[in-house]
Amino acid sequence: MASVLASLHPEDTVYGDVGDATVPLRFSSFSQEYQVLRERAAVLDLSGHRLIEITGPAAVDFAQRVLARDVEYLTSDRCMMSLVLDESGQVVDQVVAFGREEGLLLESSCGAGARLLDHLLAHAEEGAEIADRSADLTVIGLEGPYAWGVVGRLIDGELASLPFESVVDTTWNGVDIVFARTGYTGEYGYQMIVPRQAAPGLWAGALEHAQAAGQEALELAMLEVRQPIPRHEATPGASVIEIGANWLVDITKDDFVGRAAVLEAFETGGGRRTVGFTGCEGVPAPGTRVLAGGQDVGEVVYAVQSAGLGATLGLARVDPELAAAGLGLTVGGVGVTTLTSPYIVPKSWSIPII
């Protein structure tokens, strides 16, 4: 799935395949795009996030069964993040669920839309209609400590101060859009669900006030605040507790797909835990062994070079007693130190919306 905005991207844009989507990894300089996300305001092409609509008299009951969080009272002015699990408790995807008058609208994570759609169709039930809306709708994001200012200049200043996870149906340039206060990076964040034919105009308008940032800068900023990135973290066999995504599950719900497996993981408390680390030279590959006192205690899940820390930043899945900050471990023969999240404090936490 290619971006509807591709014709507007710079000629030297670097693309990459993420799951079923081809997305802009970076439009220009990675370091500049990261700095814009952390210091000013960035516009994000989120067309790699598929939009799936669930409607019909049984829409809410169906969504309640396939989403791991409680969406029974999700109204049309709210959205929320949730895991979608298979019967064994493995992560199918991490979605943003938007309450709609006629049901729900699910936004997949980047490149996971086809897998999510297949899973929903496999669990389809009478009275719940499942439709892929990605042919007529797309998503554009705004994030950064001054993203609120872009919202004011682009659409309406009052929208900038919406509470987190609030949703408003509004218009831009005479076009109906869904506007949400969301975000992945810890900075002020917003999303606009817009008809595909109007997306190029909205993208161009946003670029008058913000700079584009690609998937590489976005994922680094997500990692730095410990926002889960399913494609890197949901490794085969790992439970939601091992991944550290149990906050995206409502275990008190009576039933949902995968609940029995999640409940067993909660009750046994077994498995390893995910912890951040920094300090090694280079970027260790996933699967690199983690040692403590010469003993194998886990493995690297994901690691990158952090522009914010000026050092390697990674996630390791280790024995539970070692999932704490300030411990010295060894990765690839080099000493590292475990961290507490967030690993970078977002600038937005100290900047009020004016």
List pLDDT tens digits, range 160-205: 999 999 999 999 999 999 999 999 999 999 999 999 999 999 999 9
Give per-residue pLDDT as tens, 237-255: 899 999 999 999 999 999 9
Question: Among residues 68, 138, 74, 121, which one has the least CA distance to residue 102?
Answer: 74
Q: Is the pLDDT reported for residue 270 higher than 80?
A: no
Asked whether the CA dihedral 341, 39, 37, 28 is positive or negative, the reply is: negative
Please report the pLDDT score of residue 269 as a whole number: 79
Q: Is the pLDDT reported for residue 353 higher than 90?
A: no
Lowest mean pLDDT among 18-22, 216-220, 277-281: 277-281
User: What mean pLDDT comes out for the span 24-29?
Assistant: 96
User: What mean pLDDT comes out for the span 245-266?
Assistant: 93
Beta-carbon contacts of 31 under 8 Å, excluding residues fewer than 6 positions away, are 307
* Distance of alpha carbon 290 from alpha carbon 279, whole angstroms: 13
User: What mean pLDDT comes out for the span 23-40?
Assistant: 96
Residues in the chain: 354
Question: Among residues 261, 262, 257, which one has the least CA distance to residue 245?
Answer: 262
Give per-residue pLDDT as tens, 193-214: 999 999 999 999 999 999 999 9
Q: How many CB atoms sit inside 10 A of residue 188's CB?
A: 27
Quickly state the pLDDT bin for 217 (edges 50, 70, 90).
very high
Alpha carbon distance, N-terminus to C-terminus of the chain = 38
Do residues 74 and 80 touch, judged by C-beta distance below 8 A? yes
Q: Is the pLDDT reported for residue 1 higher than 80?
A: no
The answer to whether the peptide bond before residue 342 is cis (omega within 30 degrees of 0) is yes
Q: Is the pLDDT reported for residue 77 higher than 80?
A: yes
* Distance of alpha carbon 37 from alpha carbon 25, whole angstroms: 14
Please report the pLDDT score of residue 214 as a whole number: 98
Give per-residue pLDDT as tens, 286-343: 999 999 999 999 999 999 999 999 999 999 999 999 999 999 999 989 999 999 999 9
Strand-pairing partners, residue 305, are 312
